[in-house]
Copies of this chain bind each other. A is one copy, B any other.
Amino acid sequence: MLSVWKTKPGEGLEIKETDVPKIKDDEVLVKVKATSICGTDMHIYGWDNWAQKRIGKNLPYIFGHEVAGEVVEAGKNVKAVSVGDHVSAETHISCSHCFQCKTGKEHICENVKILGVDVNGTFAEYLALPHRNAWVNDKKIPHWIASVQEPLGNAVHTVFDGEVAGKTVTIFGMGPIGVCAVGLCKIAGAEKIIALDQHEGRLKFGKEFGADVLINSASADVKKEIMDATNGHGADVFLEMAGAESAMKDGLATLRPGGRASILGVFPKPFEIDVTNDIVFKGITMNGINGRKMFDTWYKTKALLPKMKLERLITHKFKLSEIENGFDVLKKREGMKVVLEP
């Protein structure tokens, strides 16, 4: 089968012809129909600090983790998924026996392995997937859309980490997940959605998905604009989806006392926070968001997907063999979401 490997340190990837993987008793074999490129894949492709530290010891391996496909074989212990099912993959492969796994928090398993990071991933024609990680899709959803459920799930997890209906929400970072968050807040009855990014092109997506206020954080006085848009009280909810220090600071500074901050962004390094004024005195709640709740988030995602115009987010489709084109488009920030079809 065709498969895309990270074989050695440094920027780039390698396309190879390899054997279709053999599945274990508790795995299914998925014929990949669509696999999309995530920010994490950009880090791996570009081989930045994070990738070197996190992935270095795993080379060589197949990367990629957003996927939709069809089950073509099922191991003998597999339950609840059948040959012919259309599936996506929950990318957190949890141990199922640590405290978190046994108390409904598998998404923060102590021993988690991540698809396309710790084990072979989805940039390939076939994928061996633990049956517990196979999420059965409605066959009416095209694969190229279903593949994007995984990052949509990140947005669902973050947005619905608390109340949204009737609330004013700031969303920092109009990448695909941020734009999904805008759409979800709109669907869920937010009173006012304030979207921020440094790129006008990305803000346009925010607008299209329902943002009420757009702020270009490259040029605007962010704090002033948010406070003006909230009658001087601050926002009820702050969603960090930029992974940027300035976003974190501005977001916390403009959160109303008693507000909720849900942080999904991954930051390149530690940075200063004014804990006293921004967290303690205001009595806010800050939640770290990792992955998707398994599988509460997936059920919600499935239910809300038909209300989203997710296809508008998928700006490019390529063949899997043309994967380098996909990375090019994203490096130039010309695209939002790139889907590859084997």
Contact = CB atoms under 8 A, between A and B. Distances in A.
Interface of A: 25-26, 77, 79-80, 96-97, 99-100, 102-105, 107-110, 156, 160, 163-167, 184, 187-189, 191, 233, 248, 256-258, 263-267, 270-276, 279-290, 293-296, 298-304, 307
Contacts of A248: 275
Tell me what chain A mostly uses at the interface: helix, strand, loop, or mixed.
loop
Contact of A279 (B263, B300, B304): B263
Contacts of A105: 104, 257-258, 283
Given A267-B280, A285-B285, 16 more contacts: A104-B105, A105-B257, A110-B233, A160-B165, A164-B165, A165-B300, A166-B302, A166-B303, A167-B303, A191-B304, A267-B276, A270-B272, A270-B274, A280-B290, A283-B287, A284-B288
A303 B265 contact: no
Copies of this chain, how many?
Answer: 4
Contacts of A282: 108, 288, 290
Given A267-B275, A282-B288, A307-B189, A299 B103 contact: yes
Given A160-B165, A256-B99, A287 B285 contact: yes
